[in-house]
Amino acid sequence: MHQVTTPREERRLSTAVASAEETALLAEVVELRARNEQLEQALASRAVIDQARGMVMALAPCSSERAWDLLVDVSQHCNVKLRNVAAALVATTRDETLPGQIQRELRRALRRLYAGARR
């Protein structure tokens, strides 16, 4: 036997469905905004990293890949995010001093790069 829903029950059901759809849409919007923010941050970081990469290539004539590896190496040895190492290096073009730890690790990485090139 069919159970008939009343108009009041139908309104409640449609409100619940609409509410669930709105909740799902809201969650999707929040997720997309977070993803968009991450992408904007990545693009901004990428520009600074590419500038630092170019600086390393000029300092120690090497390929783009070697410059990348050198920056990653400095980042890992200093336990500092790559984008922060790159930003500190680029800031030296504005007469800012390279932090001591980064400066030391950059020197070590350049020495390793030179030693490897001579082999």
The model's pLDDT over 84-96, given as tens digits with 9 standing for 90+, comes to 999 999 999 999 9
Residue 98, phi then psi, degrees to nearest 5: -70, 130
* pLDDT of 13: 67
Taking the domains of the chain in order of start, what are their residue ranges? 7-118
The model's pLDDT over 10-48, given as tens digits with 9 standing for 90+, comes to 777 677 777 777 777 777 877 888 898 888 888 888 999
pTM of the entire predicted model: 0.67
Q: Which two tokens stand for residue 36?
A: 């968009």
Q: Which two tokens stand for residue 74?
A: 């400095």
Print the SS3 string covering the chain.
CCCCCCHHHHHHHHHHHHHHHHHHHHHHHHHHHHHHHHHHHHHHHHHHHHHHHHHHHHHCCCCHHHHHHHHHHHHHHHCCCHHHHHHHHHHHHHCCCCCHHHHHHHHHHHHHHHHHHHC
Confidence of residue 117 (pLDDT cuts 50, 70, 90): low
